[in-house]
Amino acid sequence: MLWLKNSNANPLIASAAFHYEFEFIHPFSDGNGRIGRFWQTLVLKRWHPLLAFLPVETVIKARQEEYYQSLREADSRFDCSVFIEFLLSAINESLTEAIQTEEKTRVEVKDKTRVKTTDQILDVLKESPHLALIDVANRIGRSVSTVERAVSKLKQEGRLEYQGSKKNGVWLVREV
């Protein structure tokens, strides 16, 4: 632990080397890998807090045989480089996955918010002009009060009109 504290190595390398050394001494009968990965995450978190949230554990689980093979190879060579390379590739893969997930989420959120509430209401009422506003609200995922405000605005603009009785009426969508 003192070596890790005083090391000038990049924290990515130092954390992987510490992980290997912990695995090498194998202090417990079970759970050494989990604890080694936990310590590695703590070291990386101190260097950059966002690294604590990387799905490295998931990547390692998916590549578990490769993980154990790199440990065996490092042990047989008396050189942990192969294990460090494996862990760096796992961190890289988890970073790539996290970035892709974040970008996909950002695009999905942007796509969902791109269509204005008023346009969503008009689209729904074009398809189903008999719907009550509560049903429109449920279809577009908005509150009834939000839909009522938007409908009021659309009526004022002349883009929407309700004809007939409250029970049997229909919405007329007008193109302006």
In the residue annotation, 130 being an active-site residue is answered as: no
| Residue 33, marked binder | yes
Question: How many angstroms separate the CA atoms of 118 and 36, rounded?
Answer: 54
Q: How far apart are CA 44 and CA 24, in angstroms?
A: 20
Residue 123, exposed/middle/buried by CB under 10 A (0-12, 13-18, 19+)? middle
Please indicate if the annotation marks 67 as binding a ligand.
Answer: yes
Catalytic residue among 19, 26, 48, 130: 26
Kindly state the tokens that stand for 153.
């605005």
Nearest Cα to Cα of residue 113 among 142, 147, 148:
142
| Cα→Cα distances 124→153, 163, 172, Å | 16, 17, 11
Q: Is 36 annotated as a binding residue?
A: yes
Is 141 labelled a binding residue? no
32 annotated to a ligand binding site: yes
Is 35 within any annotated ligand binding site?
yes
Question: Using CA atoms, how far apart are residues 146 and 137, in angstroms rounded to an integer?
Answer: 8
Binding residue positions for ATP: 30-37, 67-68
Catalytic residues, which ones? 26
- Binding site residues, as ranges? 30-37, 67-68
